[in-house]
Structure 1
């Protein structure tokens, strides 16, 4: 969206520069032996894009998908629907020949881990993404995704900083589990050492975000911290999903503002920061192609969706999350191109904040 809105990108040199800045890899595992994918003449709707947020990790640590968001763009290519998959949703994860994983039922955020092993204790994040994509596809009925991206949370903070912060809604009081009021890491409690199973291993003063009737301006570290919180929230991960969706809309709104797209220096910083934050697979099209294809999707035309769900209890013990049956009806509307009609009949699926 930034690319399509920026006047600088009329230069072929800059188009090449920004397309080359993004790390493009095969995320869906459907190109044999690294063969180039067949490039379609253009990008037409409807399209489905899978976005996955992860913490920075080295290749000896199994990746976990901390945030999973599907973006559905209808055939008109002028609006978008965003819905989040709960990270603790218990699902059927398909078998994965590359790692010898036989398939099974587990929390969906483990799919990347099951698909990432490449031997000798090493892990490949793009390979793990391909199993996650298959898992999300099995859940939603989306047979193939048209594009996908892995978003490094640390890099995402740099995008916000390059824009000068982000102004977004704060719709409830939130205390940070991880950071002190000055942004420094909270110390771990001596009663809950590293490697233990404690849910709340931190101690000391907490950074607090207070509910406000007007959008609040956050620095990069504040925005990233706010949208990662779930402990202590009434609806836990469902509240966090809403905050992440609000963050994406606010980022899009600010990125397309005159303060960014008509400011050559700031635009350059934002695009370069975005390149460092992403691993992208456009199924044969680069990130600039996708930016231009989605040029008519404005923040005002982005609808954020809340999928209904609740805790999965087995013999009184919490095992994860489960979606209500009506979520399957929503997934059907995505695949049949009837989301707008579905939302007219089920307005409760729309996040109002």
Structure 2
């Protein structure tokens, strides 16, 4: 008998079939559970963006009414944002749901940080171009001046019109945060990791920054991104710091906003709504698409540059930067058509 094949009994075959049925049932249950969790997670994002989207402060009539630049024929279907950091020198918050002061009053505020951001249509890359605050540009209805004067003289509509006229691009959405909001958002993520390349001292703020990697809280981070005195490149070095910080804080926000961590997502969305104001054309659906789209981006997918500069000079006693307008427009056109400059 030892050399003959042992055929399974009826009972053995039945036990084997039962185990297979149990395994299939278990797999079906696990799959159903996973699908259920995914559905709940997506539902949470759907509900969350509506819930928090309703709390986002919208800026009424943010866009100019004049004819605006068209999108290029080969546009990649992405979205272009104009982001502004506003220095109102106000003791009261002026942006986000925490605002108790007015976002804009004639002559009271200037845009201290200005960035064009394009999120590609395939949600796989983001390109940011900083426009230096000292850029000398034509301001519609006024003579040429530094670009940050546009917000001071006409609020968001004049700033958007000025940048559209300068770049030849059509801005889809506008977002603004003041220094109160900047500090609050930095503290909300538990501070932001920043690597300072060399020791630096800002004589204007009487602030020292030591070389190395630091977790900066809101106050320290604000001083860091505002420094230009005591830096070899002045304003251009400050822009590099701002870009570095933006990349770091986006990473922190992305880590918090997760469909698998609804509590972390809620905390972050709450912090953002308290700090940032957006144009009144940005719907809750637009915010949802933005949140879901950002999940696909890593730090390596984001590229940064600065508007091309021809020279610096003194104009009417003011330090000003003269931009290469033709090169700026050509470069941004490649971004919008899905072919950003290599190495940028």
1:78 maps to: 124
| Contact kept? 1:66, 1:87, Cα under 8 Å | yes
**1:140 aligned to 2:172?**
no
What are the residue-to-residue correspondences of 1:43-62 with 2, within 5 Å?
Answer: 45-56=77-88, 57=90, 58-59=101-102, 62=108
Q: CA, structure 1 residues 147+338, in 2 after alignment: closer, same or farther (shift >3 Å)? A: closer
Partner of 1:24: 58
Superposed CA deviations along residues 9-60 of structure 1, whole A, max 9, x for unmatched, are 72554332211221012321349xxxxxxxxxxxx72321100011344445
Contact 2:258 2:265 in 1 (8 A): yes
- Give the Å deviation of 1:298: 2.6
Say which one has the larger Rg: 2
2:265 to 264, 267, 291: 267
- The aligned residue for residue 41 of structure 1 is none
Q: Distance in 2 between matches of 1:171 and 1:86?
A: 21
1:88–1:107 Cα contact (<8 Å) kept: yes
- Where 2:111 maps in the other structure, the secondary structure is coil
Distance 1:16 1:75, change over 3 A: closer
- Asked if 1:94 corresponds to 2:128, the answer is no
In structure 2, which of residues 153, 167, 188 is the aligned counterpart of residue 162 of structure 1? 188
The question of whether the paired residues in 1 share the 8 Å contact of 2:114 and 2:133 is answered with yes
Q: Does 1:110 align with 2:127?
A: no
Gaps of 5+ in 2: 1-39, 67-75, 91-100
Q: Which runs of 4+ in 1 moved over 3 A?
A: 6-9, 56-61, 176-179, 258-267, 336-342
SS at match of 1:82: strand
Task: Describe how 1:298-337 pairs up with structure 2 within 5 A.
Answer: 298-309=298-309, 310-313=311-314, 318-323=318-323, 325=324, 328-337=326-335
Give runs of aligned pairs for residues 146-185 of structure 1, distance below 5 A: 146-177=172-203, 179=205
Q: C-alpha separation between the residues in 2 aligned to 1:229 and 1:290?
A: 31
Alignment of 1:235-314 (within 5 A): 235-257=233-255, 264-281=262-279, 283-286=281-284, 287-309=287-309, 310-313=311-314
Give the corresponding residue for 1:203.
none
2:115 aligned with 1:69, yes or no? yes
The alpha-carbon deviation at position 178 of structure 1 amounts to: 5.7
SS state at 1:68 partner: strand
2-structure distance, mates of 1:50, 1:110: 16
SS of 2:134 mapped into structure 1? coil
Distance 1:343 1:173, change over 3 A: farther
Contact between 2:334 and 2:341, CA under 8 Å: does it hold in 1? no
How large is the Cα RMSD of the aligned pairs?
2.9
Q: Please state how far the C-alpha of 1:241 moved relative to its aligned partner.
A: 0.8
Residue 74 of structure 1: how far off its partner (Å): 3.0
Alpha carbons of 1:30 and 1:178: their partners in 2 closer, same or farther (altered >3 Å)? same
User: Which ranges in structure 1 are unaligned for 5 or more consecutive residues?
Assistant: 1-5, 32-43, 96-102, 116-127, 180-205
Query: Cα distance, 1:270 vs. partner?
Result: 2.3
Alpha-carbon distance, 1:177 to partner: 4.7
SS of residue matched to 2:171: coil
Partner of 2:73: none
Contact 1:311 1:319 in 2 (8 A): yes
